[in-house]
Amino acid sequence: MNFKLTAVGVLTALVVIGGIFIFTKTSKQQTDSQISEPSLPVIIIGTALPSPNDLAARVIKKMGWDKEEGYILEQRNIPIEATVPAMIGGAVDIIGMTPLTALNTISPEKPIKIIANGAKVHCPFFVPGDSSAQSWQDLRGKRLGMTSNVGPSYMMARMAFKLKEGIDINKEFQVSHSPTPELIPRLVRGEVDAALGRCGEVGPARALVEAGFKTVGNMEDVLNKDGEYRELMIEAMISTKDWADANPERVDMFRRTLYKAYTYIQEHPEVFDDPDIQKAYALDSAEPAVISKIKELVPEFYTFVDWPIVVDSQYKFFEAARNEELLTDVPQKEELFYNPTESIQ
């Protein structure tokens, strides 16, 4: 069974946010011709906030590492639900999105290139603090809040449970979709019994501290229960194959600064004390305990294994998904991944 977006769904998404990308595409053309430092190439990245790749982009710009490396990074916040038309429409050069969505929706129209880590799979199941649930198995038949049907945690969960547990999550749970920012508020309001949280440190910290929730497992546990996959990406940094093939120097520069930022964040979780970061992630009025919890969680989200290991695990996962008819086509590894055998760190 292939869960590729229907043509109607894609057209609807394009119509709904078409105005946004008419503007952003025009803006992109203007930026290329009006940058203050014309000698430096511009790389436009799309990120959803909060996310590890979004924070990394902010750190790169704040530290000036892009200009030190020889390029200008322009960052645009793109809602998860808008990532597909953003890439298809050419509003960005690189975007953080789930590889599964990219393969199912973008690749048939525009072949993609996976160029770097975006976020690792580490998505907790949240329940109210007084829930009797002890594991995800206790949530069978319950109302389970998830991101949209093109969102990273939903896409990965559907694959993971099919491959590792042999179940269809839409039959085992009462899946209820919503935009990512609404996942935890809906659980607070009692509209769902549990929520599969976004893979990042901000949402889980707020859920645990402010809402008093608890976790009953993690999607990572499902994927890694037999040790088959050493590391998978819930989000990857993705470009079109044409752009990556035409701009290898820009890809290399971006990757170097991206991993430099990941390492810096992992070693300096106090980046979350920065007023600009707090404002961007709506943390400027958060309790100190929330900020402390975020800092505590940071290492779980910014410690990456090296690129060839990620590529091997991810490609093996893609092949298994194709064998289960969850993906229709998987390009050759060398075509799909940028420099798949080259160490980054």
Summarize pLDDT for 221-259 with one digit per residue, the tens.
888 777 777 678 888 999 999 999 999 999 999 999 999
- Percent of the chain, pLDDT > 70? 87
How many CB atoms sit inside 10 A of residue 126's CB? 25
The pLDDT, as a whole number, for residue 37 is 60
Residue 15 has pLDDT above 70, yes or no: no
How large is the C-alpha radius of gyration of the chain? 19
Residue 134 has pLDDT above 90, yes or no: yes
The pLDDT, as a whole number, for residue 24 is 46
- Name every residue whose Cβ is closer than 8 Å to that of residue 78 and which is 6 or more positions away in sequence: 46, 47, 48, 86, 91, 92, 95
The pLDDT, as a whole number, for residue 173 is 95
The pLDDT, as a whole number, for residue 214 is 92
Residue 38 has pLDDT above 70, yes or no: no
Q: Taking the CA atoms of 156, 3, 47 and 40 in sequence, report the sign of the dihedral they define.
A: positive
> Taking all residues of the chain, what is their mean pLDDT, rounded to a whole number?
84
Which residues partner with 218 through β-bridges? 124
Measured between alpha carbons, how far is 178 from 130 in angstroms, rounded to an integer? 24
150 pLDDT tier (thresholds 50, 70, 90): low
- Name every residue whose Cβ is closer than 8 Å to that of residue 211 and which is 6 or more positions away in sequence: 184, 187, 188
In this prediction, residues 23-31 reach a mean pLDDT of: 44
The DSSP symbol for 102 reads I
Whether 315 contacts 337, CB under 8 Å = yes
8 pLDDT tier (thresholds 50, 70, 90): very low
Q: Tell me whether residue 26 is exposed, middle or buried, using C-beta atoms within 10 angstroms of its C-beta: 0 to 12, 13 to 18, 19 or more.
A: exposed
- Ordered structural domains, the chain, with CATH: 7-120+231-336 (3.40.190.10), 124-223 (3.40.190.10)
Q: Find the range with the poorest average confidence among 113-117, 197-201, 292-296.
A: 197-201
116 pLDDT tier (thresholds 50, 70, 90): very high
Residue 96 has pLDDT above 80, yes or no: yes
Q: What is the dihedral of CA 303, 307, 309, 311, to 10 degrees?
A: 120
Residue 272 has pLDDT above 50, yes or no: yes
